[in-house]
Structures are given as structure tokens and as C-alpha cells.
Amino acid sequence: MSNSKPVIIFIPGAWHPPECFAPTTKLLSNAGYTVDLIHSALLDPPENDVPTTYFPDVERIQARMREAISKGYKVVLFAHSFGGLSASAAIEGFEEHVQHLILCAAWLLPKGSAPTAFGPDPPWFKLNENKTLVLPVNPQQRFYHDVPEKEAEKAIASLKPFAYLPLTTVTPFEGYRAVPTTYIMCTQDQALSLEVQEMQVRVFAKDSGINTVKLDSSHSPFFSMPSKVAEVIAGLVGREQSQI
């Protein structure tokens, strides 16, 4: 028996614990939605066992999808920034169970390509000595410039080193072509510029049928405007529920 509302699985981007979504997920939970959070295997790994691809995150997402499916749920994936790559890849083999993929200021790449193929690292990347882990320089500017100061400070304190070599992972599957997909563009983004976001959808996802929504936000709208993000998610889920 299928449950009427899907499980919404949140996949964070680099450096962020899944609790970063709390301002948005609390609103959805209060509205009766079931949410699940992915803790990235690439976040703050042991220095002697740093992942070299993002496939461990693909496996984590697929495990959570299997769990939801076994209970009769469809799933919605909400992926932020770098998390868009693992979310899109995780859809392979689960196409009939994924109701919607929502990409928020996310990486979206064609099959066979990797982030490192599109230019050098940004100047705000700070690598460790072994070049296995990376941290962001000035995250307040890059991620949270429109977030209240105290909330931004809490968010910055929660950031952790992130595995660097997964940026070389070749995209294995274009999940955004396999399921209904919406891309949330953040017009004030200082980490992944609006120009790059628009180019990804226009060029890499050409003819895929992706819908787009624009928010006048920094890279982190789930912090700066959680009500709006929750509204977008609920609107997409509700629209599709009415079509089932």
C-alpha cells in the first residue's frame, strides 16, 4: 500500500552537516511531511581513510530510498550544491520510485564529466597539506551573506573539512533526465554564481524538461528564507500528488 505523501530526503552540499536544513525541515515536518537527512560520508572523514569518490554518498542515499520504498513511500530528493551530483547518480535503478528531484544551487553535470573538468579550483578553496581535504575561505560571504549574523555564526561553526578528491568523480548517470526535476536558482549566490547555475540548466540539461524557480537568495536559502523553500517543496509535492 502506497503512502499518500512521499519521504523527502535532504542531501547537503560540501562542508555542511545535514542539520543545516533544520529551519526548512522543521516547517515541513510540522506540515505533516516525513523528512530524512543524509550525513555525507565525505564530511570530516578520518585523514587515513578519506573517500576518493562521492559514491559512498550515492550508496547512503540509495539505502535510505530502499528503506522508504519498503514502507510504501515514494521519495523526493532535495539536494544542495555538491550534493546534487550524488543525488542525481543515486536515481539510477530507482526511477519509478523517485517522485521529484529538487536541485538547489546545485552542481548538475552531463554523464562522463567531473567538476574539475570545468576549470581550476576557486580561490576560496583551502586544501590541507596532503590535498585530500578542503575547507572554504570566508564562508560568511560565500554561503550566508543574507543570513542573520547570529544564525550565520552558528552555521559557520558547524562546517567541517570535506573530501577533495571526489571533485574528480566522473558523472555516471543523469538522474535529472530520468525523473521530474526542478532547479532552484539562487540569484545572489556567491559560491555557485547565477550565471553558472543558468548555464548548467541551459547547456548540460538541454531538452531535459527541467523546471526552474528563482529565489533572491544567497547559496543557502534553507537558512535565509526557509519558509519560501518549504513552500516551493510542498508546492511541487502537492502538485504531483494531485496528478497521481
pLDDT for 242 equals 38
Please name each of the domains of the chain with its CATH number: 7-241 (3.40.50.1820)
Owner of C-alpha cell 543525488: 87
Please, are residues 57 and 11 in contact by the beta-carbon 8 Å criterion? yes
Q: Which of these, 3, 4, 20, 31, lies nearest to 233 by C-alpha position?
A: 31
Distances (CA, A) of 202 to 49, 179, 182, 210, 237: 37, 17, 13, 9, 24
Return d(Cα 104, Cα 214) in angstroms, integer: 10
- The three-state secondary structure class of 82 is coil
Closest to 189 measured CA to CA, from 144, 159, 137, 134: 144
> What letter represents residue 106's amino acid?
A
N- to C-terminal Cα separation, the chain = 14
State the pLDDT at residue 234. Answer: 96
What confidence score (pLDDT) does residue 240 get?
52
Residue 67 pLDDT: 98
| pLDDT given for residue 117 in this prediction | 82
Amino acid 16: pLDDT: 98
Grid-cell match 576557486, residue found: 122
| Predicted local distance difference test score (pLDDT) of residue 2 | 62
Per-residue pLDDT of the chain (244 residues; tens, 9 = 90+): 467 799 999 999 999 999 999 999 999 999 999 999 999 999 999 989 999 999 999 999 999 999 999 999 999 999 999 999 999 999 999 999 999 999 999 999 999 999 988 889 999 999 999 999 999 999 999 999 999 999 999 999 999 999 999 999 999 999 999 999 999 999 999 999 999 999 999 999 999 999 999 999 999 999 999 999 999 999 999 865 433 2
Q: For position 99, what pLDDT does the model report?
A: 97
Cβ–Cβ < 8 Å for 108, 177: no
31 vs 234: CA distance, rounded Å: 9
Q: 133-136 and 162-163: which strand pairing?
A: antiparallel
Instruction: Read off the C-alpha cell for 239.
Output: 502538485
